[in-house]
Amino acid sequence: MQACAAAHGLEAEGVGVTQPLAPPLARSTTLHGLRGALAFALFLFHVANSGLDRPQGLAADALDHVLRCLEFGVELFFCISGVVILQSFRSSPTLFDFAWNRVTRIYPVLWVTVSVIAVLSVFKGVPRPSLEVWVANLFALPPLLPIPLIHPAAWSISYEFAFYGLFVVHALLNRWMPGPMARAILIALVVGLILTHLRAACFLVGLALVWRPPAEAAPLVQKAMSRPGLWLSLALLAWYEAFERWDLPWSVSHLPDQPLWVSCVALSYLSLGIGFAYLGMGGILLQAGTVSRWLKSPTLQWLGTISFSLYLWQTIVMALVKHAMSRVGLTDAVGDGAQFWFFALSLAPTLLVSHLSQRWLEDTLTKKMRRAVRPVNASSVRCPQGDNT
């Protein structure tokens, strides 16, 4: 009831878009499949980053390097958000619809996974997080705020909510003050977010692709976009070089801690990655190349459907499997095959838990939350599997 009252209060004040500025975003099969590919790529990264023994040699080392680059698939998730969230904002009839759709899309799975980790930490002998820390994590406040992070993967959700918040601020500023002043404040907030959290710059890739769709780009640019797989791979490699090899910090405030030339090289790699991601994401939106056809496959479409749950559950399930392997002595018994066995034993339970989470939390619970607050408005009960939710 309180939520309904708040919604009516926002509408009474005229906050939000009274009429959609754009038709609802059509579901992009290539973006949907890319979500699935990135979520699975992060699973492979966690295998490589498990600390378990693996084969040695030039080929094995090269494979390990490739798998570790997959960590920066999160940045490509930010690029996707830049595309779909702007479209979602444009097509939302009110500001409350936009905000409530974001909350119900993210919070159910986040609440459950954060709580599971908090409970499991007690059994591992780790001090139980305080009530204040637990609540802050339920609302995805760290690491944007200096609060201990309970779920290691939830840092990106904090970035996502900051990004969503900029759209809310944009709507409110345009309501309350002249346009030029509102734009100046918004630009300052965007710059501040990027300077304090450099990886948030990747959201700009998606925004740029919506403001000027790839289909309207110059022919030479479109030709370059015809190989999205190449550009996305180069983006991952560039970001790996920036953050891992050249130790680019997450905030510009820490850049003075290293030599100027090192910071310049690291920032150059970050910028190159953003440029590569722009070309690659443009190609995905154009559905160009073999990669785009691959992303439309039934397997990757299914992975795209469970991608958010897969992202948040994989570290939990994999930690339990790794612990079980150690307890039964399998880790020592298989020697340098430990990573392969870890992959094989973690895959099925991770996918199963993610599938059930998508059905029960993302689909069923999210729809109930949306109907409870907006029983009449169809825009708030759209299927969470859609690209615009």
Compare 187 and 378 and report the one with higher pLDDT.
187
Q: Please report whether residue 145 resides in a domain.
A: yes
What is the pLDDT of the chain when averaged over all its residues?
A: 90
Q: Please report whether residue 298 resides in a domain.
A: yes
Q: Please report whether residue 248 resides in a domain.
A: yes
Q: How far is CA 158 from CA 76, 147, 163, 200, 206, in A?
A: 16, 11, 9, 10, 18
When divided into structural domains, the chain yields a total of: 1
Q: Kindly report whether the global pTM for this prediction surpasses the value 0.95.
A: no
165 with 106: CB under 8 angstroms? no
| Residue 20 pLDDT | 41
pLDDT confidence bin for 123, thresholds 50/70/90? confident
pLDDT confidence bin for 375, thresholds 50/70/90? low
73-119 tens-digit pLDDT: 999 999 999 999 988 898 888 999 999 999 999 999 999 999 999 99
Q: Please report whether residue 387 resides in a domain.
A: no
Three state DSSP letters for 115-174 = HHHHHHHHHCCCCCCCHHHHHHHHCCCCCCCCCCCCCHHHHHHHHHHHHHHHHHHHHHHH
pLDDT confidence bin for 385, thresholds 50/70/90? low
Give the whole-number percent of the chain exceeding pLDDT 90. Answer: 81
Q: Please report whether residue 328 resides in a domain.
A: yes
Instruction: Say which residues have a Cβ less than 8 Å from residue 153's Cβ, sequence separation at least 6.
Output: 311, 312, 314, 315
Kindly report the number of other CB atoms within 10 A of residue 62's CB atom.
Answer: 10
| Residue 125 pLDDT | 72
Judged against a pLDDT cut of 70, whether residue 296 lies above it is answered with yes
Q: Please report whether residue 217 resides in a domain.
A: yes
305-359 tens-digit pLDDT: 999 999 999 999 999 999 999 999 999 999 999 999 999 999 999 999 999 999 9
Residue type, 88: S
- Residue numbers of the domain that contains 32: 2-381
348-367 tens-digit pLDDT: 999 999 999 999 999 999 99
Give the whole-number percent of the chain exceeding pLDDT 70. Answer: 89
Instruction: Say which residues have a Cβ less than 8 Å from residue 129's Cβ, sequence separation at least 6.
Output: 118, 121, 137, 148, 150
Q: Please report whether residue 198 resides in a domain.
A: yes
250 with 197: CB under 8 angstroms? yes
Judged against a pLDDT cut of 90, whether residue 45 lies above it is answered with yes
Half-sphere exposure at residue 41, Cβ-oriented, CA atoms within 13 angstroms: 23
Mean of the pLDDT values across residues 136-161? 95
| Residue 384 pLDDT | 52
- What is the C-alpha to C-alpha distance for residues 199 and 75, in angstroms, rounded to an integer? 7
38 with 307: CB under 8 angstroms? yes
| Nearest of 303, 350, 311, 387 to residue 109 by alpha carbon | 311
